[in-house]
Amino acid sequence: KLRELDARRVPLGLSIARSIVLFLTTSLCKVLMHVLNRVEYVDDERYRFLQSSIRHRPSGVPLLTVCNHQSSLDDPGLMSSLIPWDVVLTPSRVRWAIATQDIVFPRKSFVQSFMTCGQVLPVHRGGG
């Protein structure tokens, strides 16, 4: 079971699946955000701090990001637009996201596996 795995030792199959899912999802989101939308960001000290925090954080140190969004697609779209390609190709540098369990984690094993490989953790809203 995935819950019983040592976080420092990811099995090869899971590592490959994670790399594929993260690359494909991030690539698709980047394309959609730049083709269907107009993404603008200011290359200021906050943006450079985000880039540096993503690229140079020590192993085992989590990255917390918070997005105030209108839809479920805003968060992956926005973060995919901001993450540099070299980070996308290194799953250990990509942040973990959270998503509501009842919408994003239906009882279909393929979708659950896809979300897990995409580094998405389920959250039970209203659970206390």
Residues 6 or more apart whose Cβ sits within 8 Å of residue 29: 76, 77, 80, 81
Report pLDDT for 73.
75
Give which of 127, 33, 21, 119 is closest to 71, Cα–Cα. Answer: 33
Residue 29: inside a domain, yes or no?
yes
Q: Which residues contact 98 (CB under 8 A, 6 or more apart)?
A: 120, 121, 122, 123
Say if 11 falls within a structural domain.
yes
For the chain, what is the domain count?
Answer: 1
Q: Do the domain assignments include residue 27?
A: yes
One-letter amino acid identity for 70? Q
**Rounded CA Rg of the chain:** 15
Q: Is residue 107 part of a domain?
A: yes
Q: Do the domain assignments include residue 25? A: yes
Note the pLDDT of residue 24: 92
Q: Does residue 128 belong to any structural domain of this protein?
A: no
Q: Are 117 and 14 in contact (CB under 8 A)?
A: yes
Percentage of the chain modeled with pLDDT above 70: 91
Q: Is residue 96 part of a domain?
A: yes
Decide if 39 is inside a domain. Answer: yes
Tens digits of per-residue pLDDT, 79-105?
A: 888 888 888 888 888 888 888 888 777
pTM over 0.85: no
Domain that holds residue 56: 2-123
